[in-house]
């Protein structure tokens, strides 16, 4: 107890010193505090899932020390210091859960549990649109849902707990998963304010899973779960130098997740390596009787996606380069071309250029589908939650009544437009959904792959992060590869491919439905050959 109390005292002194300083000195003291905490608990910087389990098995630290380590980092880096503002709340039961995981677990017992539970003791953050039936909130970043508790854990949360994961907290997000306004600023919510990019604090963390991306980039947990309708996993992963996996729709259950569109929504892993993302996906994926989209998995043995981590996974793979998603920034093109050279050097057969023939022809249909499905899905979700607000109409009224707090920088025109739509039996919806899926899938990705007997499509995920702008909202430079796989419901993985003036950019790999094994193999082989990811250093800005 003497050593522990001394360690806590030193962290407190570090934090006190940090608050007395400003400017560049904050970064110096912050690094010292973080290093002291890590040294005290022997928790390595940016530990992988394997390193966590090896550390637990070897007795270098226990689960309580892990929880304490990350809580200290969140308080020092997210809520003070750099003030990334990515974590909405730390699980108030995290310390108790960690202690319970440690109970009766000597070194040998921890080693055994790590073998039996693939996420035993691993701190995981959840996006704040994923239900937890505990003392944490689930709000989609909206003040309207504060105090309204879901009745139980989402299906994927139950799977995480069964796998031994420590649910550390909830991350900020673009409010309502970025489906409230066409002029929104990603990473902002009424509940949480603005999340910042740890690679440049004046820049945007991108996408609605913005808090999950920024938090894992800043090493505030080992991995996180994000959600995507169109780009909300891959975009924040790309600009935060993470691996993000947007799975085939139906591979991961959506029950207990605040919806946008049933035909496109999915949860997925966000991590600092392909290995960690694959391990997390292995836990998340599975049949859920409450989500009809997972029906194809009912009679299947769950896959262990880590078996596809193959350094030679690119050999003989036929890859098509989608140049239509490049050419928007010379320096991004330089990094992308270097990535293509790496793919080729590792044995891939490159077809360049070769584009999706229907790209851009399904955008209007997608918007129609999202409006109809959002109204249908959010009304059903709120009704089942059993508390006020009970409908989209109620949310619109709440936002109007709380205009100063909820709409200081953007409005709710998407809410209003969705409310004006009819039921999903309407002819306009049915025709738009059929056309969008056909153009993005059969006549889009499938046609692009079939033309030259290809396996994978690649492109830059997007450009570097833009500066936060509450006047004009988000401003993407280019990329936009996410829409076709999102609409088709096909898998999409982004993996770090380099930096543009210190800002990360990602390489996208897209495949046919249920092709996660091949995409993971390719992403891992590229990652191991390129070693492109670099951690952030918490600068104040990038010109």
Catalytic residue set: 127, 208, 232
Kindly write down the DSSP assignment for every residue of 34-64, as one continuous string. Answer: HHHHHHHHTPPSS--HHHHHHHHHHTS--HH
**Using H for helix, E for strand and C for coil, what is the string for 239-273?**
HCCCEEEECCCCCECCCCECCCCCCCCEEEEEECC
CB-based contacts of 528-533 (< 8 A; 24+ apart in sequence): 528/311, 529/311, 529/314, 529/342, 529/345, 529/346, 530/339, 530/342, 530/496, 530/497, 530/498, 532/339, 532/495, 532/496, 532/497, 532/498, 532/499, 533/241, 533/242, 533/272, 533/273, 533/496, 533/504
Residue 63 near residue 101, CB atoms below 8 Å:
yes
Number of Cβ within a 10 Å radius of residue 134: 18
CA–CA distance, 10 with 238 (Å, rounded to integer) = 36
- State the Cα–Cα distance between residues 533 and 241, nearest whole angstrom: 6
Distance, CA of 532 to CA of 528 (rounded, Å)? 9
SS3 content of the chain, % helix, strand, coil (to 5): 45, 15, 40
Distances (CA, A) of 294 to 123, 312, 451, 474, 485: 26, 31, 29, 33, 18
Distance of CA 126 to the CA centre of its chain: 9
Distance CA 236, CA 223 (A): 13
| Residues contacting residue 270 through CB under 8 Å, at least 6 positions apart | 209, 212, 213, 216, 223, 224, 225, 226, 233, 236, 237, 242, 243, 244, 277
Name every residue whose Cβ is closer than 8 Å to that of residue 301 and which is 6 or more positions away in sequence: none
CB 507 within 8 A of CB 494: yes
């Amino acid at each position: 107890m003497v050593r522990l109390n001394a360690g806590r005292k030193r962290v407190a002194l570090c934090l006190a010193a940090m608050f007395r300083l400003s400017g560049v000195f904050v970064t110096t003291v912050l690094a010292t505090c973080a290093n002291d905490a890590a040294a005290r608990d022997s928790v390595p910087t940016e530990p992988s899932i394997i390193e966590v389990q090896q550390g637990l098995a070897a007795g270098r630290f226990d689960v309580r020390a892990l929880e304490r380590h990350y809580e200290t980092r969140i308080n020092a880096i997210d809520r003070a210091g750099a003030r990334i503002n990515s974590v909405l709340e730390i699980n108030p039961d995290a310390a108790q859960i960690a202690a319970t995981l440690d109970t009766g677990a000597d070194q040998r017992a921890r080693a055994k549990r790590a073998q039996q539970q693939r996420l035993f003791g691993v701190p995981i953050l959840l996006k704040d649109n994923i239900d937890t039936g505990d003392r944490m909130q689930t709000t989609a970043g909206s003040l309207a849902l504060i105090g309204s508790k879901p009745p139980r854990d989402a299906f994927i949360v139950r799977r995480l707990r069964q796998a031994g994961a420590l649910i550390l907290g909830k991350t900020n997000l673009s409010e309502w998963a970025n489906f409230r306004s066409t002029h929104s600023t990603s990473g902002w919510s009424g509940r949480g304010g603005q999340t910042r990019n740890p690679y440049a604090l004046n820049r945007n963390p991108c996408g609605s899973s913005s808090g999950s991306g920024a938090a894992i980039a800043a090493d505030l947990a080992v991995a996180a779960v994000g959600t995507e309708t169109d780009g909300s996993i891959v975009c924040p992963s790309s600009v935060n130098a993470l691996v993000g996996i947007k799975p085939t729709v139906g591979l991961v259950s959506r029950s207990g997740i605040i919806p946008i569109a049933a035909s496109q929504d999915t949860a997925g892993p966000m991590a600092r390596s392909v290995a960690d993302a694959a391990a997390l996906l292995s836990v998340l994926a599975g049949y859920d009787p409450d989500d009809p989209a997972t029906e194809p998995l009912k009679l299947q043995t769950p896959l262990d996606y880590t078996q596809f981590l193959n350094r030679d996974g690119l050999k003989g793979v036929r890859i098509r380069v989608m140049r239509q998603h490049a050419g928007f920034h010379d320096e991004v093109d330089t990094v992308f071309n270097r990535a293509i050279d790496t793919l080729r050097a590792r044995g891939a057969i490159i077809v360049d250029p070769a584009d999706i023939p229907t790209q851009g022809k399904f955008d209007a249909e997608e918007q129609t589908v999202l409006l109809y499905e959002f109204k249908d899905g959010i009304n059903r979700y709120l009704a089942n939650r059993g508390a006020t607000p009970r409908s989209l109409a109620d949310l619109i009224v709440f936002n109007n009544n709380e205009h100063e707090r909820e709409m200081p920088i953007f409005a709710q025109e998407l809410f209003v437009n969705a409310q004006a739509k009819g039921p999903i039996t309407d002819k306009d919806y049915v025709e738009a959904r059929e056309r969008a899926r056909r153009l993005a899938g059969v006549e889009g990705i499938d046609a692009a792959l079939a033309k030259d007997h290809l396996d994978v499509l690649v492109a830059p995920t997007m450009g570097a992060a833009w500066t936060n702008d509450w006047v004009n909202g988000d401003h993407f430079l280019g990329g936009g590869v996410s829409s076709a796989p999102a609409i088709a419901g096909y898998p999409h993985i982004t993996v770090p491919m380099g930096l543009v003036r210190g800002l990360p950019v990602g390489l996208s790999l897209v495949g046919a439905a249920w092709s996660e094994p091949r995409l993971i193999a390719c992403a891992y082989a590229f990652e191991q050959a390129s070693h492109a990811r670099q951690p952030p250093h918490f600068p104040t800005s990038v010109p």
